[in-house]
Amino acid sequence: MFSKKMCRSIMLTTLFIVAAALPAFAAENNQQEPIIEVGATTMNAQEIFQMLMSSAGGNQMMAAMILSQSTVEERMEMVQQMADALVFAEAARTLGYERKPDVAFQIKWQTIQTLVGAYFEEVSSKWDFSVAAMRKYYNAHKDEFIQAPAARTRHILSQTQEESLNVAMKLLEKGDFAAVAMEYSRDPNSARNGGELGWVEKGMMVGPVEEAIETAVVGSVVGPVQSDFGWHLIKVEARRPEKQLSFEEAGDEVPQRMQRYYIDQEVRKLRKDFPVKIDEKALGNIGGIPAPSSSN
């Protein structure tokens, strides 16, 4: 019997053999002669290999390993499945399905997404995300890394004012806001966490709730407060002031903002070559649904 150590050795040897064969395999597959033909649709060797890669989660080495261990009969079985897909696609094309508005949109949008992905795969390889570059960006954009003042808040949502008052009585009896929230709150997202809303910054909540949070004394319960969602009992557990984050405290936000910066720069450059035109009048009535009047 093979030992685990021997099995690992064989597997590693196989991986190295497959890896060494990849350049030759890729060169061979540059030939464009079709292997599968179904009506006007064809697939060549490189496209079949890419399909195998897709089935293997995009793993080129795994796809090559599958091929290296597959007989012609086994490869035929795999290719027959691809051929069946082409048969269905060809039938749909013959019936004019690609001209159906919903299908045409899916084809159009998938093409756009594929092209965008290919473009950014190429251009992003030139973006600098070294520590030095990130520190340089941070120092030039410190105003982007300011932690806003916020209040750590919990709430209990009820459907009616009467229900909210009854829940307030439960709070007086039990004294445990989190436990009461888990049992009685109508907000399923926060109820499972004891009504926890996290650190709430200005602008994150609807008007009446935001006003209650701003005026609440830390540790006290405010409410019932009515909003479009129902009636709220609110507890502010702590407050934090505005703070300039250090480079270390900003963490992942630095590369995320750098990426956004690189994308914005790329868009500005490209818009000079590809001007954007938007029909604002038509935009105001998409699908026969008029846009609401401006609040200005």
Per residue in 205-234, pLDDT (tens digit) is 999 999 999 999 999 999 899 999 999 999
Domain range summary for the chain, segments of one domain joined by +? 4-95, 149-241
Domain 149-241 matching CATH 3.10.50.40: the answer reads: yes
Please check the confidence at residue 7 and state whether its pLDDT lies above 80: no
User: What is the widest separation between alpha-carbon atoms in the chain?
Assistant: 80
Alpha-carbon gap, residue 61 to 286, rounded angstroms: 47
**For residue 4, what are its two tokens?**
């685990």
DSSP 277: -
For residue 234, the one-letter residue type is I
Helix and strand element counts for the chain (H, E): 13, 8
pTM score of the predicted model: 0.65
Per residue in 239-293, pLDDT (tens digit) is 999 999 999 999 999 999 999 999 999 999 999 999 999 888 888 888 888 888 7
For residue 150, the one-letter residue type is A
Instruction: Residue 200: name the closest of 155, 251, 149 by CA.
Output: 149
Alpha-carbon gap, residue 233 to 244, rounded angstroms: 32
